[in-house]
Amino acid sequence: MLAARWPAARVTGLDTSPEMLQRAGGAESGVAWVQGDIADWDPGEPAGLVFANASLHWVDDHDALFPALAEALAPGGVLAVQMPRNFDEPSHRVLGEVAERPRWADRVGHRAGWRPVDPPDAYFGRLAPRCATVDLWETVYYQVLHGEDAAAEWVKGAAARPFLDDLGDDAGAFFAEYAAALRPHYPPGPDGSTLFPFRRLFAIATR
Ligand SMILES: C[S@@+](CC[C@H](N)C(=O)[O-])C[C@H]1O[C@@H](n2cnc3c(N)ncnc32)[C@H](O)[C@@H]1O
């Protein structure tokens, strides 16, 4: 979409995952796909736009990352970021609580309390000294999910992934405990669907 919106621009698509890059599209998309880590990415020349959707929460040390991304911009360039910030909700709290149970603590207990995204004012502090404008906002999306243990199944593909990867053959047993513990927090409605509120933080900063 970005390449179509700015056909004259040189657009680079970055991700650590080869599978994700393959899914994103081939050379015909007009994008140069690069496998790499955002934490040490160098655009080579000042960027007109740095756009990061649902990815920066996987990168540690936002005190270093956000100033570096702002400084990668050309004058008038824009940093546009969306990150999940649902870490204090039952979906994520319960994940940590199950990880701290005696059966799991030695392998995934250290992952409890994972809060990779700070409150909005922390991002203002990182961006405002380097940018002419900083817009921040949060939106809670009331996602309508279907199926059994719909909230747990949704988290399985996101925040739960590192826990499940660490546990290998025991991932199924851990997930079953997590789904059972989460059930009372997200009961299905009369039509069988589950409303799953999910908070996301947005930042748009202009250099
Ligand atoms: C929820 S997906 C979002 C993918 C894509 N940005 C989108 O909007 O559809 C999160 C992505 O972040 C990637 N990722 C995680 N850590 C990363 C890092 N340090 N550098 C670059 N990409 C990373 C993952 O491989 C994954 O594809």
Q: Supply the DSSP string of 101-170, one letter for each residue.
A: STTTHHHHGGGTT---S--HHHHHHHHGGG-SEEEEEEEEEEEEE-STTHHHHHHHTTTTHHHHHHHGGG
Per-residue pLDDT reduced to its tens digit, 8-41: 999 999 999 999 999 987 767 789 999 999 999 9
What is the per-residue pLDDT for 28?
A: 73
**Hey, is 185 helix, strand or coil?**
helix
Task: Say if CB 48 and CB 78 are below 8 A apart.
Answer: yes
Q: Is the CB of 65 under 6 A from ligand 1?
A: no
Q: Is the CB of 83 under 6 A from ligand 1?
A: no
What is the per-residue pLDDT for 185?
A: 98
With a cut of 90, say whether residue 163 has pLDDT above it: yes
What is the per-residue pLDDT for 25?
A: 77
Q: Is the CB of 139 under 6 A from ligand 1?
A: no
CATH 3.40.50.150 fits 37-206, yes or no: yes
What is the per-residue pLDDT for 85?
A: 97
What is the per-residue pLDDT for 60?
A: 94
Per-residue pLDDT reduced to its tens digit, 68-122: 999 999 999 999 999 999 999 999 999 999 999 999 999 999 999 999 999 999 9
Per-residue pLDDT reduced to its tens digit, 127-159: 999 999 999 999 999 999 999 999 999 999 999
Task: Say if CB 47 and CB 74 are below 8 A apart.
Answer: yes
- 157 CA distance to ligand 1 centroid (A)? 12
Q: What is the distance between the alpha carbons of residues 53 and 33, in angstroms, rounded to a whole number?
A: 16
Atom of ligand 1 nearest to the CA of 59: 19
The pair of structure tokens assigned to 176 is 């079953």
Q: Is the CB of 167 under 6 A from ligand 1?
A: no
The pair of structure tokens assigned to 112 is 């409890």
What is the per-residue pLDDT for 24?
A: 87
- 15 CA distance to ligand 1 centroid (A)? 5
**Hey, is 183 helix, strand or coil?**
helix
Q: What is the distance between the alpha carbons of residues 150 and 156, in angstroms, rounded to a whole number?
A: 10
Domain chopping of the chain, boundaries: 37-206
Judged on CB neighbours under 10 Å (0-12, 13-18, 19+), 163 is buried
